[in-house]
Amino acid sequence: YGDANQKVDYVFKVVLIGDSAVGKSQILARFARNEFSLDSKATIGVEFQTRTLVIQHKSVKAQIWDTAGQERYRAVTSAYYRGAVGAMLVYDITKRQTFDHIPRWLEELRAHADKNIVVILIGNKTDLEDQRAVPTEDAKEFAEKEGLFFLETSALNATNVETAFLTVLTEIFNIVS
């Protein structure tokens, strides 16, 4: 964790999108700092965090952008998407509406981002399995139809968060290297 003083071979910008409160900021906190907070405040101001990791013997700096609570107003601007080579499209497995909004987010992404952007669909909060409202199979089917990677995660207990980022970053790496 953290960025050691090392040579950076690649910098990849990845954006987090999806409805408010699905866990985007906590997924980022888990990946960038291995932290989690149950009373996380709505994100204020556009911000990103970085983590440098090694992929196939190259140093890759992941610059992960988090929305600034604009998700409520669907006011995520094109500046947010500019230069992004990866996107994580997040919904909450306990809130059906957040999954039903995914096609809109995908539309928005395709309107603003580079057409070769690598996209992963993420169903977060798998620790709340007893409150599940979105069957895994529904999301899997949607992801396959749209050509997206797909994983279910829990930022709370860290399940699949690392794998989700590595899936996106490795795919980007394979495209650009």
Q: Which residues bind Mg ion (CB under 5 A)?
A: 24-25, 43
Alpha helices (H) in 20-135, listed in sequence order? 24-33, 78-81, 96-100, 102-112
Nearer to ligand GDP, 47 or 141 (CB): 47
* Contact residue for ligand GDP among 52, 98, 154, 167 (CB under 6 A): 154
The residue among 155, 147, 153 whose CA lies nearest residue 171 is: 147
Binding residues for ligand GDP, rule CB under 6 A, total 18
The one-letter amino acid code at 36 reads: F
**Using the rule CB under 6 A, is 24 a contact of ligand GDP?**
yes
Q: How far is the CB of 6 from ligand GDP (least distance, A)?
A: 29
Assign residue 2 a region: left if phi > 0, alpha if psi is -120 to 50, beta otherwise? left
**Which one of 11, 20, 108, 142 is in contact with ligand GDP (CB under 6 A)?**
20
- Residue 20 CB, shortest distance to ligand GDP, in Å, is 5
**Shortest distance, position 24 Cβ to Mg ion, whole Å:** 5
CB 76 within 8 A of CB 101: no
Q: Which is nearer to Mg ion, 55 or 66 (CB)?
A: 66
CB 88 within 8 A of CB 27: yes
